[in-house]
Amino acid sequence: MKLSDLGEDRLLARLLPRLPLSKSVLAGAGDDCAVVRSPGENKLILLKTDCVVEGVHFRRSDAAAAVGWKAMMRPLSDFAAMSGLPQFALVTLIAPGRTSVRKIDNFYRGLQRAAARFDVSIVGGETSGTHGPITISVSVIGFVEKDRWVSRRGGKADDDLFVTGRLGGSIRGKHLRFVPRIEEARWLTEKFSVHAMMDLSDGLGTDLPRLAKASNVGFKIDIQSLPLASGAKIDNAISDGEDFELLLAISPRERKRLEKTWRKKFPRLPLTRIGQLFPQSAVNASPARTNPKLKSGFVHFK
Amino acid sequence: MKLSDLGEDRLLARLLPRLPLSKSVLAGAGDDCAVVRSPGENKLILLKTDCVVEGVHFRRSDAAAAVGWKAMMRPLSDFAAMSGLPQFALVTLIAPGRTSVRKIDNFYRGLQRAAARFDVSIVGGETSGTHGPITISVSVIGFVEKDRWVSRRGGKADDDLFVTGRLGGSIRGKHLRFVPRIEEARWLTEKFSVHAMMDLSDGLGTDLPRLAKASNVGFKIDIQSLPLASGAKIDNAISDGEDFELLLAISPRERKRLEKTWRKKFPRLPLTRIGQLFPQSAVNASPARTNPKLKSGFVHFK
C-alpha cells in the first residue's frame, strides 16, 4: 500500500495515539492544535525544531526506524544542551505519494521509540506530499527549572572545557542510534554549577568557536587529548559533526570533584577535559586559534 | 549570492532578530533551544505545526514574501480555530544550495510580517539543504485561557452551523494573503459559548464531516446558503480547500444575538448560517449525508 492510498487523516492516526500519553496532554490528534498544561511559573519553556532530509541527513537505504529515531533525537539533544526536560513533540512528515505505508510506519516506529525513551508525548503532526526527498521535521517543547537553565553564553576565562563520550566518525552508524545526553546533563546541573553547555552537532571545530564567541572568550584545546571514537582520527573528531555529545565549561575548582563523581555515576561514558577558556586577548596569537582545522565542521549547503 | 555561499549561521541570523522580541523571550537565536516564560497555571499551552511545499502548497513562480506569509498564517489559523493566542514560532527552511539569498530574504520577510501581524515572536529555526523542492515548516506555541478553549468535539444536536467569510476559489490568490480569524475567534469566545469550532483548511466537504464526527453528531447543510467567494461556484465552496475561514457550532438560542452583534463588530466580514447539527440517527438517510460533494475536499497525496 502506498501513502497516496491512505490519505492524510489515516496517515496521521498511525503516528498519533488516540489517547493522550501523559496527564499534561488535554487534546492531541484530531483537533486543530494540541492542548497541554502549562508547567507553572517557576519553570521556563524550551522550544526547539530540527529536521532530517533524505540525501542530506540520511540515505535512502538507511533503515526507516533508525531515521525516525534520529529525527526525534536531534532536537532532544538540544534539550540536553540546556539541561532541559523535553515533554511534547510535533512531527511533520513530507514524502512522495509513492512511498510505501510500511516505510512510513517504520519512520513512525523509530520516532515513537525515541520519544518514549525520554517520556516525550507526540501530540501533533502534519503530513504533506512532495516531488522531492523524504523530510521529517520535529519540534519539541519542554521545560527547565529557572535556576538550572544553561546557555552557551556563560563561559568564563579559566573555565575547564569537558566533552562527554568519544568524537568523530558518527556517520559510520552512531548518527542513527545515538542517545541524547539528557540524563547526564540533568545530573550535571543538579550537582554542579555548569557555566556554559551545548551539544556537538556540527563538529567540535564549528561548535566550540560558537560557544566561545557567545561567551565572549577565547579557547585553547589540547588536540592530543581529544577522546576519539573507535576508528576516528583527530581530524574526524574536529570536523565530522553529528557527535551529539555535550561540550561544557565549568570552573577549574570543580574539576576534581566532577571527574571523581562522574566516574562513579557514569562508569561507561568518558568525560574528558579537552582544554580551557581564556580571555580573548590571550588567544589571538595562539596556534590553536589559527589552526585551520578548528574553523570547519559539517556544512549543510554544498 | 546563493544560499550555499552564506552558511547556516548567517542564514538563520537573517531570520532571527538578535534581540528577543517580547519580554517573554529569554533566549532565541544562537542558543540550543529558545527559552520563554511559562504563561502560568491558569492558561493552557497550544501547539501546532504546519508546512508549505513547493509544487504542493505554492508554485515556484509565486512571490516569495507571499509564500512566507502563507507558511506562517497556516498554523496561526489553527490557533483561531481553538480561540488561542499564538506567541512564539519556530521556522524550518529547507532549500537547495543554488537558491538565491534574495529569495530566502523574501521568504523571511513574509514570515516576519505575518508573525508581527499577531505579535508572534520568531524564536528559533533551522535550515537544511535539499535536492528537492523548497519547504517551509512552521511550529507555533501559544496559549488559551482554560475556560475559553474550543475544540471540534463539543458540537451538540440542534446547534446552528456558521461560517465566516466566503468560500471557494482560494487558489486564485486568497491562499497567499489570507488573515487568520484570530480576532474574530477571540471575540466569539469572549461573548458567546461556542460549542465547537475549526478552521476550514481542506474544504467544507472534508472539514465539516470531521467536526461532526468528533462531536458524535450528524449534520445537514443548505447548499444554497453557502457564502460564495467572487467567481466561485457551490462545488468550489465545498471542495476547494484553503479557505481558512472559521466553521462553528453554537446553540440556536444564541443565533439572533450573534447575528446582530457580529454585524456591528465585523461589518465587512459576513457570518453565514449554513446548516445545523443533528443526532446521528436523523441524518443517516438524508440527501446531504449522501451528497458525494460533501465527501471530498483537498487531498495532499495525488
Give per-residue pLDDT as tens, B210-253: 999 999 999 999 999 999 999 999 999 999 999 999 999 999 99
Q: Residue B163: what pLDDT?
A: 98
Mean pLDDT over each residue of chain A, to the nearest integer: 90
Q: Any CB–CB contact under 8 A between A40 and chain B?
A: yes
Q: Taking CB atoms and an 8 Å limit, are B135 and A139 in contact across chains?
A: no
Q: Residue B300 pLDDT > 50, yes or no?
A: no
Residue B247 forms beta bridges with which residues? B163, B198
Q: Taking CB atoms and an 8 Å limit, are B7 and A88 in contact across chains?
A: no
Mean pLDDT over each residue of chain B, to the nearest integer: 90
CB B60 within 8 A of CB B132: no
Q: Residue A287: what pLDDT?
A: 46
Secondary structure (H, E, C), chain B: CEHHHHCHHHHHHHHCCCCCCCCCEEEECECCCEEEECCCCCEEEEEEEEEEEECCCECCCCCHHHHHHHHHHHHHHHHHHCCCEEEEEEEEEECCCCCEHHHHHHHHHHHHHHHHHCCCEEEEEEEECCCCCCEEEEEEEEEEECCCCCCCCCCCCCCEEEEECCECCHHHCHHHCCCCCHHHHHHHHHHCCEEEEEECCCCHHHHHHHHHHHCCCEEEECHHHCCECCCCCHHHHHHCCCCCCEEEEECHHHHHHHHHHHHHHCCCCCEEEEEEEECHHHHCCCHHHHCHHHHCCCCCCC
Q: Residue B181 pLDDT > 70, yes or no?
A: yes
Residues A196, A156: Cα–Cα separation, whole Å: 8
Confidence of residue A150 (pLDDT cuts 50, 70, 90): very high
End-to-end CA distance of chain A: 35
- Segment A11-21, tens digit of pLDDT: 888 888 765 67
Residues A129, B300: Cα–Cα separation, whole Å: 6
Mean pLDDT across the stretch A124-151? Answer: 94
Q: Residue A281: what pLDDT?
A: 75
- Segment B113-131, tens digit of pLDDT: 999 999 999 999 899 999 9
CB B33 within 8 A of CB B138: no
**Closest residue in chain A to residue B136, using alpha carbons only:** A137
Q: Residue B265 pLDDT > 80, yes or no?
A: yes
Residues A287, B36: Cα–Cα separation, whole Å: 39
Residues B193, B147: Cα–Cα separation, whole Å: 10
Residue A212 makes CB contacts below 8 A (sequence gap 6+) with A155, A218, A219, A277
Residues A96, A227: Cα–Cα separation, whole Å: 41
Report the length, in residues, of chain A. Answer: 302
Q: Residue B19: what pLDDT?
A: 59
Confidence of residue A29 (pLDDT cuts 50, 70, 90): low
Which domains, from first to last, does chain B contain? 3-145 (3.30.1330.10), 160-295 (3.90.650.10)
CB B110 within 8 A of CB B71: yes
What's the distance, CA B212 to chain centroid?
A: 19
Residue B92 forms beta bridges with which residues? B126, B137
Question: Residue written as cell 508547567?
Answer: A39
For A:191-220, CB contacts with B below 8 A are 198-199, 202, 210, 214
- Segment A45-89, tens digit of pLDDT: 999 999 999 999 999 999 999 999 999 999 999 999 999 999 999
CA distance B105 to chain A (A): 17
Which of A35, A149, A302 has its CB closest to that of B46?
A35
Residues B56, B236: Cα–Cα separation, whole Å: 18
Which residues in chain A are closer than 8 Å to B133, comparing Cβ atoms?
130-132
- Which secondary-structure segment (H or E) carries A4? helix A3-6
Q: Residue B289 pLDDT > 80, yes or no?
A: no
Q: Residue A283: what pLDDT?
A: 65
CB B135 within 8 A of CB B42: no
Range with lowest mean pLDDT among A154-158, A229-233, B202-206, B298-302: B298-302
CB B185 within 8 A of CB B246: yes
Which residues in chain B are closer than 8 Å to A40, comparing Cβ atoms?
38, 40-41
Mean pLDDT across the stretch A33-39? Answer: 90
Which of A47, A149, A199 has its CB closest to that of B90?
A47
Which residues in chain B are closer than 8 Å to A131, comparing Cβ atoms?
55, 132-133
Confidence of residue A128 (pLDDT cuts 50, 70, 90): very high
Mean pLDDT across the stretch B178-203? Answer: 97
Longest dimension (CA), chain B: 63
* % of chain A with per-residue pLDDT over 90: 78
Interface test with B, best of A104, A137, A140, A215 (most B CBs within 10 A): A137
Q: Residue A18: what pLDDT?
A: 63
Kindly tell me the burial class for residue B2, based on how many C-beta atoms sit within 10 Å of its own C-beta (0-12, 13-18, 19 or more): middle
ipTM of the complex: 0.89
Q: Which of A279, A276, A259, A255 is nearest to A267 (CA)?
A: A259
Which residues in chain B are closer than 8 Å to A47, comparing Cβ atoms?
33-36, 88, 90, 123-124, 139, 141
Longest dimension (CA), chain A: 64
Q: Any CB–CB contact under 8 A between A86 and chain B?
A: no
Mean pLDDT across the stretch B30-45? Answer: 89
Kindly tell me the burial class for residue A255, based on how many C-beta atoms sit within 10 Å of its own C-beta (0-12, 13-18, 19 or more): middle
* % of chain B with per-residue pLDDT over 70: 92
Q: Residue B284: what pLDDT?
A: 54
Q: In the structure grid, which three cell numbers stand for residue B264, read together?
A: 456591528
Confidence of residue B290 (pLDDT cuts 50, 70, 90): very low
Confidence of residue A205 (pLDDT cuts 50, 70, 90): very high
10 Å Cβ neighbour count for B231? 9
Q: Residue B230: what pLDDT?
A: 95
Q: Which of B193, B204, B195, B192 is nearest to B164 (CA)?
A: B204
Mean pLDDT across the stretch B10-33? Answer: 78
Identify which has the larger pLDDT, A245 or B294.
A245
Mean pLDDT across the stretch A142-153? Answer: 94
